[in-house]
Amino acid sequence: MRKIVLLAAAAATVAIPAAVNAQARGGIIIVDTDQILKTCTACTSAASQLQQKQSTLRSRAQTLQTQLTTEGKPIQDAFQALNGKKPDAALQARIDAFQTKEANARKELATSEQQLQSTAQNVQQQIAGRLVQIVEQVRARRGAALAVSKDATLANDPLGCHQRGSGRSQQRAAFSQRHAVAAAAATAAAGTLSRMSEGAALGPLDVKRVMAALPHRYPLLLVDRVETLVPDQSIVAIKAVTINEQFFQGHFPGRPIMPGVLIVEAMAQAAGVLAVESLGLANSGKLVYFMAIDGAKFRTPVEPGVLLKLEVEFVQKRSSVCKFAGKATIDGKLAAEANFTAMIADPPTA
C-alpha cells in the first residue's frame, strides 16, 4: 500500500500531479497537521484572539487587586489602631462594604474565567472544523480512501477500508476516513491552542480550580485564587488575610500576626497547585507532602487586611518529587521566602 506524506496543504492551493494522484487511489494519506496549521490563517487568527482575551482578563484581575489593596489599607490601619477593641458602627460598615466589594470582584473574575473557558472550547471546535475541510479536500484530490494524522496508529486492513470491490467495504472506508479526519483535526486543534499558550500564563483561576488541585479545605486552605500560572515554570497566587482567620484569636491577642509556618504553608500550597496543574493531576486525589524546608526567612509581619502574594517557581520537577523556590510579598515588599521540597503521592489507604 502506497503512503503519501503531505508536507503542506491548503484547501484551494494544493497542486497534485495526475501521476501521484493515481498512485494514491485506494491508499492512505498521512497528514502532517502541523504543516497544515502553518498555512491556515483562520486557525492562527482564532487562537491569537483567544490569547488577547486571556491577556485582557489578567489585566482586569490586576486592576481589581490594586483597587482592593488601596481601599483596604486605610481600613486595616483603622482596625489595628483599635488594639483589639471592637470597631464602632462606622468602621464596621466600612469593613462590611469592603468585604462585599471583594466578594463581588471574585465573582466577576470567576464569571469571566468561565466565559473564557467556553470561548477556548469554541475556538478549538472552529479550528478542528477548518482542518476537517482542508484535509478532506486534499484526501479527495489525492484519491485516497483514508486520511489520518501522522501520529496515528492503524491496525492491518482497518475495517477492510482498502478493499474497494464491495459497497459495504466502501461504506466502511468512508466512515473510517471521516472518523480519522475528525480525530486528527480535533487533536491538531487542541495542540494548536496548547502550543500558542506554551510559555504564556494561565489564569486567573478561582478557588474552585484551586480546590480541584489541592485536598486542603477550610480553615487550612491558604490559597484563595491564582493570578497566573505558567505550566512547568511558575505560579503567582493570592491569600487574602482577614481578621476572621482562626489563628489570629491566639497569635496574638491585641497584635494579630500570621504565623510564619502558615506563610510557608501558603507558599507550599501554591507550589502544589503549580505541580498538580503542570502534571495534569487535577481532581486525581493526589496529596502533596512536605519533605524539606530550607533557607526560610521572614522579613515583614503579615497582618489582617492584606493580600499576600505567593510567588513560586520550579527549581526541579519530577513525576513525584519537586523542588521549589518561593516568596511571599505584600504590595511588592518581601514578607517571607523559602526553598522547599514536596512529594506528590496517593492518599494513605484506610
Element (H, E) at 234: strand 234-241
Task: Identify the bridge partners of residue 147 per DSSP, sorted by sequence position.
Answer: 29
292, 297, 301, 305 alpha-carbon torsion, rounded to 10°: -50
- Taking residue 21's Cβ as centre, other Cβ atoms within 10 Å add up to 14
Which three cell numbers mark 237? 497566587
3-state SS class at 256: coil
CA distances, 232 to each of 201, 283, 291, 305 (Å): 11, 18, 20, 32
Q: How far is CA 305 from the centre of its chain?
A: 28
Q: Does the active-site annotation cover 251? A: yes
Parallel, antiparallel or unpaired: strands 28-31 and 146-149: parallel
Phi-psi sector, 158: left (phi>0), alpha (psi -120 to 50), beta: beta
The three grid cell numbers given for residue 243, joined into one nine-digit string: 481578621
CB 233 within 8 A of CB 244: no
- Report how far residue 136's alpha carbon sits from residue 209's, in angstroms, rounded to the nearest whole number: 38
C-alpha cell, 17: 500531479
DSSP 25: T
Of the residues 162, 179, 216, 251, which is catalytic?
251
- Give me the active site residues, please: 251
